[in-house]
Structure 1
């Protein structure tokens, strides 16, 4: 049944792509030669189509060309995969927004050499070519005083903040429209591959982590089998069993969070949430942990900011940032949690700031990797899993945002999630 649906899906996609390609070819060829494409409708020998041919003035003609160009863009948007049209100078003259997001088009040019080579081959020989590629969306790097974006290169006090990205796995089809134009179709299969990777990590790591509690249980069973029971020894081994079981429970919980954090989030009127409400709940739930560590939690910011998102995921991500901040902060210090409108005005910036040991520069590029553990561990963090920041990363990206880190050893760290503000959803 699944293969049947796959075949039908491919037939539909190819049919739509062929129709769109034909329209694009005619449209672009007319525009290139300075011909108003609508003349195909208005140049009827018996006075034009509905008599409009002789009444269309030059200004209206230009407007019609612009409208048709907009229609071409709309047709590309209707294809259920990302797309781009390339001319004989290798310039991208039409592209869907996803082609930029996926790291294939930049500055009106193809930035992947394999796709560009396929375009050259198809343009010269005809037919079509299919290939699998992996792209990397360019990570956000912000330079500015105290973490803010600046334009003034003369500022002395600057911070370089490292953002996150993730690979995009694409199935690419390149086809020739005519001698001048080539269409590139991009089928993003990243979601299924990421799910497969997390599933494999889940199986591998749970299997490995099962060894420790099973060995602890075996040692406890050996002790209980002997007549000369040492009460203190049994108690000590029972504590080991409890600790190993708690560790595995923590890991399984985090792996499930990681899987859920990669489910795509579509903005709607049903998932509009207030950011400050989420932060209040998370801070309240971590007050006990902070008090036990001798750390104070502070919350501040703009309580008018709304985003579209999954409340549980946002709380889980912020909770992981607060847990890390508490874990790496010295007694008597403060962990500050805040939210504000971004400088450009379109995002809510959620920051968690600590005054802990900081992260060495060489490790900052890796802190968002799954199961990565930094070198600066202490008694509060040594039993961690290494999934917390990976969860934060995927929550931010699936909510169409990003997360950045600024850190200096000995000064502390600032993690900032940037999430798009909610837009008014227009329903039909």
Structure 2
């Protein structure tokens, strides 16, 4: 073992891998800083300017019959509201919304021309009576019909999106003030992107720091063994294996980070990127079959060979591998994983289902399993050292291909992960 005889080379290689990890860290943060357009692909509300320009066709129409009687804001107040950044809502003495920015609907504050958030309504009542103004923060959820405002929202598409399990909250700073004896104004500042970035940043720093500590600690242990000189060869071999294992884990983390960054590049359908779904499924199954077979896990595949989608074959194959890896890791030895490929009920999507018979996922965790770095409570000896990026990659591949990712699961009954992609026309 020449590597054991040259500890400086072993340490050099290990720190080289750590250096690559740090490069991935920089790339990750640059991606979040310079690609705000990605936020629109992640299922959250877009920046206010984008929402205001794109949601008019899906915003509920206000009643017009008595609008002139109710809406008599003076010209100065109306002009001021029109140039304020963010979203605004004007409520009259009977709590009816007389004016609202499209973003107020998209952020879930106004529904059907009424203020939908209880805290906001309480503060409106208080300010109307006492005057002055107040500021506070609330969290809302984007109504399902606004999640993809720029898509063609036919009935079937709306129902598909309503049933998705991936949702993202909106964090809002709210200012409530009285215009006059009749009208109260509510100003909304969307802080979601900043908060999401801070959450991802904190999780990222914590996880990467932990992953970087493991190989450095293993290297220190190996260095101690080699420094002593009289350490037996078996001890050196054990320490070297630990270094190799931790560096391999770090390698996988770097690889997943790079995949995650790549999976956020939007896919534009064209004649040049039509791929057959079953080809990608079979390739993904082939890459995990050996590992599954070592534990006696059978992988059964059925599907329609004619289904084709627009997309990046490597990205879709990677997403499928992550789904299969996940299913195999959580399945008991000697069980089976089933993969099915078929059309959606409306015939517009290719639906890929990966079904396992593992431990299942608690209901309160299912909306989080696609988050970056999220680690559920149902870990086992095969999954406890995971990074938490696999299903995040699946979600981002789905969204950049204009599709969706979802999960059905019950404890002790297994899980079904679904990747839906629009069929090529």
TM-score category of the 2 structures, normalised to the smaller one? 0.5 to 0.7
Partner of 1:291: 290
Q: 1:180 to 1:198 in 2, by over 3 A?
A: same
Q: Given that residues 290 and 297 in structure 1 are in contact (C-alpha distance below 8 angstroms), is that contact kept between their aligned partners in structure 2?
A: no
Partner of 1:245: 247
The reply to whether residue 33 of structure 1 matches residue 66 of structure 2 is no
- Matched residues in 2 for 1:345 and 1:366: separation? 29
Q: 2:327 pairs with 302, 321, 325, which one?
A: 325
The reply to whether residue 105 of structure 1 matches residue 104 of structure 2 is no
Partner of 1:145: none
* Secondary structure of the structure 2 residue equivalent to 1:413: strand
- Matched residues in 1 for 2:419 and 2:102: separation? 23
Which protein has greater RCO, CA pairs closer than 8 Å, 6+ apart?
2
- Matched residues in 2 for 1:335 and 1:240: separation? 35
Cα distance, 1:389 vs. partner? 3.0
Q: Given that residues 283 and 297 in structure 1 are in contact (C-alpha distance below 8 angstroms), is that contact kept between their aligned partners in structure 2?
A: no
Cα distance, 1:336 vs. partner? 0.4
Cα distance, 1:241 vs. partner? 0.5
The reply to whether residue 371 of structure 1 matches residue 374 of structure 2 is yes
Largest Rg, 1 or 2: 1
Q: 1:91 to 1:279 in 2, by over 3 A?
A: farther
Q: 1:322 to 1:80 in 2, by over 3 A?
A: farther
Q: Given that residues 139 and 163 in structure 1 are in contact (C-alpha distance below 8 angstroms), is that contact kept between their aligned partners in structure 2?
A: no
Partner of 1:39: none
Partner of 2:151: none
Q: 1:195 pairs with 169, 194, 197, which one?
A: 197
Q: Given that residues 299 and 336 in structure 1 are in contact (C-alpha distance below 8 angstroms), is that contact kept between their aligned partners in structure 2?
A: yes
- Matched residues in 2 for 1:423 and 1:109: separation? 41
Q: Given that residues 91 and 99 in structure 2 are in contact (C-alpha distance below 8 angstroms), is that contact kept between their aligned partners in structure 1?
A: yes
- Matched residues in 2 for 1:366 and 1:377: separation? 18
Structure 2 unmatched ranges of 5 or more: 1-47, 53-62, 72-77, 146-162
Q: 1:226 to 1:34 in 2, by over 3 A?
A: closer
Partner of 1:135: 140
- Matched residues in 2 for 1:300 and 1:182: separation? 58
Q: Given that residues 139 and 162 in structure 1 are in contact (C-alpha distance below 8 angstroms), is that contact kept between their aligned partners in structure 2?
A: no
Q: Given that residues 259 and 393 in structure 2 are in contact (C-alpha distance below 8 angstroms), is that contact kept between their aligned partners in structure 1?
A: yes
- Matched residues in 2 for 1:371 and 1:212: separation? 19
What is the number of residues matched between the two proteins? 336
The reply to whether residue 170 of structure 1 matches residue 172 of structure 2 is yes
Q: Given that residues 88 and 104 in structure 2 are in contact (C-alpha distance below 8 angstroms), is that contact kept between their aligned partners in structure 1?
A: yes
Structure 1 unmatched ranges of 5 or more: 1-11, 17-26, 36-71, 141-160
Cα distance, 1:207 vs. partner? 1.8
- Matched residues in 2 for 1:389 and 1:291: separation? 21
Partner of 1:385: 387
